[in-house]
Amino acid sequence: MPAPPVARRLREGQLKKSPIREIMKLADRRNIVAMGLDPDDVISFAGGWVNHRAPEGLREAYARVMEDEKLFHELGAYSPTRGLPRLKDALLAVDRALYDTEGLSDENILVGGSSTQLTHTLFTTLLDPGDCVVLFDPSYANYGPQLDLGPEGVEIVWLPVFDAASWTYMPDAGAVLDGFAKVLDEHAPRLVLFSSPDNPTSRLIRDDVFFDLLEMAARADCFVAVDFAYRAQCFAEPVPRHFSASPAEHPNLIRLHSNSKWCRGLGRRLGWIEAAPNVIDGLEVVQQSTALCPDTVHQYALAVYLEQALAEGSLASYMAETNELYRRAAEHTVACVHRHLGMRCLEPQGGLYTVVDVGRDGDAFVREVLPVTGVIFVPGGGFGPSLKNGIRVSYGPLVHDLDRIEEGFRRVGAFLGR
């Protein structure tokens, strides 16, 4: 007798699959072998992860936990649902020191299992069935599938911020704000969500757009959530003013943070969120029934490291050194695109990516290139309608292997006859 069926939304295909994960399935080792390719010779520009070394002080903090039998036992206990007070204090101190963020206190912060989990928790906390959410076009490809897992009937409205004709990000501030005013009038959205630096473009929202959009949203009782997953990977100068915008000053502002990128804690899952106290109260209620509490060992080790690194000044130098790695990789990637493909792409301001105009359907391009060249990209269409004829290129995993970046684009260029 077969098992009972899964939920209706899954049976009917209403829950979308991540386009990134679909391409990664295509690049599975068994599929690569079936294509007649050597998996060890495949060059992937699809992975959205960093590859610099985690700070040695963080590793040492974990080592001390492992060596201390009593401490290891104690850290096997639940932490408070909102996170360890020691870690929250350290995170707020780091934000004040590095970004001059003012006014935040313990009541403005909640630590979670990861920024992915916290994003879903946020949707559950803020959204009712039928609410409208505004996503930038383009946006991180997982926002849509995550929203599908939230309250039923949530409407997604795209706000164009990328001009495919000129292949530029946010070229006209007035057009973005006019478009947002129209969305506010026609859809009365509950939430606006975007990242800065952006995934997939690695571009920053303009400060003038950010603060005007935030004020417009506040007047319409609309939240603005900024995903700062790549804030520590920003190499634009000067540091944007919106990096220090505070929910204490702007109660409709919500800031999402990830432990994954800046200290290469991808598998050591931890994230945190900053918002007005009433939002944090709601998040706590939801988190009690989902994650219950974040990992205690990860919280403790990160707190110990941050306290020490901030006091001795090594945190700022570590971040500067790793940012230089990604700046160099970004510049090299853009140069390789121009040299071997002769195609348009964006100049990254941070993050791990650029987007390339391939001049035709990006999904078809990716599937055509892979079997012949052994080079993997992610189609742009999954990030929004504006990137249908583009691909996302990630230089993050190859930050220490610039020659491999060069070789990947040389192969593709040769295949295209460029």
Reported as a single tens digit per residue, the pLDDT across 11-25 is 777 666 666 666 667
pLDDT-based confidence at 5, cuts 50/70/90?
confident
Q: pTM of the predicted model, to two decimals? A: 0.94
Residue by residue, DSSP assigns 273-319 as: EE--HHHHHHHHHHHHTTT-S--HHHHHHHHHHHHHHHHHTHHHHHH
Residue 344 has pLDDT above 80, yes or no: yes
With beta carbons less than 8 A apart as the criterion, state whether 222 and 180 touch.
Answer: no
Distance CA 83, CA 370 (A): 44
Instruction: Say if residues 355 and 387 touch (Cβ distance below 8 Å).
Output: yes
| Contact between residue 371 and residue 411 where contact means Cβ atoms under 8 Å apart | no
Site of tokens 């790549």: 230
Within this chain, domains 8-53+316-416 and 56-314 share the same CATH topology: no
Q: What amino acid occupies position 106?
A: D
In percent, the amount of the chain with pLDDT more than 70 equals 97
Residue 244: burial class (beta carbons within 10 Å; 0-12, 13-18, 19+) = middle
Task: List pLDDT tens digits, range 44-86.
Answer: 999 889 999 999 999 999 999 999 999 999 999 999 999 999 9
User: What pLDDT, on a 0 to 100 scale, did the predictor assign at position 18?
Assistant: 66
| DSSP code string of 82-137 | T--HHHHHHHHHHHHHHH---S--GGGEEEES-HHHHHHHHHHHH--TT-EEEEEE
Per-residue tokens: 45: 């520009």
Residue corresponding to tokens 């964006």 = 346
Residue 87 is predicted with a pLDDT of 98
Tokens of 208: 């003038």
- Residue 197's SS3 state is coil
Reading the block at residue 75, the tokens are 């850290």
Name the β-bridge partners of 24: none
Beta bridge partners of 156: 133
Token representation of residue 109: 């912060």
The CA-based dihedral angle spanning residues 38, 40, 45, 50, taken in that order and rounded to the nearest 10 degrees? 160
Backbone angles phi, psi at 357, to 5 degrees: -85, 105
* The pLDDT value given to residue 268: 93
For the chain, give the number of residues. 418
- Measured CA to CA, the distance from residue 356 to residue 167 in angstroms comes to 9
> What b/e sequence results for 63-79 when a residue is b if at least 16 CB atoms lie within 10 Å of its CB, and e otherwise?
eebeeeeeeeeebeeeb
CA 155 to chain CA centroid, Å, is: 22
92-148 pLDDT, tens digit each = 999 999 999 999 999 999 999 999 999 999 999 999 999 999 999 999 999 998 998
% of residues, the chain, pLDDT over 90:
87
> Is the model's pLDDT at 346 over the cut of 70?
yes
Contact 237, 205 (CB under 8 A): no
DSSP 8-state symbol, 340: I
> Where in the chain are the domains?
8-53+316-416, 56-314
Count CB atoms within 10 A of the CB of residue 417. Answer: 5
pLDDT band at 378 (very low <50, low <70, confident <90, very high): very high
Q: How confident is the prediction for the chain on average, in pLDDT?
A: 94
Q: Mean pLDDT, to the nearest integer, of 363-367?
A: 94
pLDDT confidence of residue 2? 78
What gap in Å lies between CA 166 and CA 46, rounded to an integer? 24
The domain defined by 8-53+316-416 folds into Aspartate Aminotransferase, domain 1 (3.90.1150)
Q: According to CATH, what is the number of the domain 56-314?
A: 3.40.640.10
Interval 171-207: pLDDT, tens: 999 999 999 999 999 999 999 999 999 999 999 999 9
Question: Tokens 């540091």 label which residue?
Answer: 239
Q: Specify whether the CB–CB gap between 137 and 386 falls below 8 A.
A: yes
- Residues 6 or more apart in contact with residue 406 via CB below 8 angstroms: 332, 336, 340
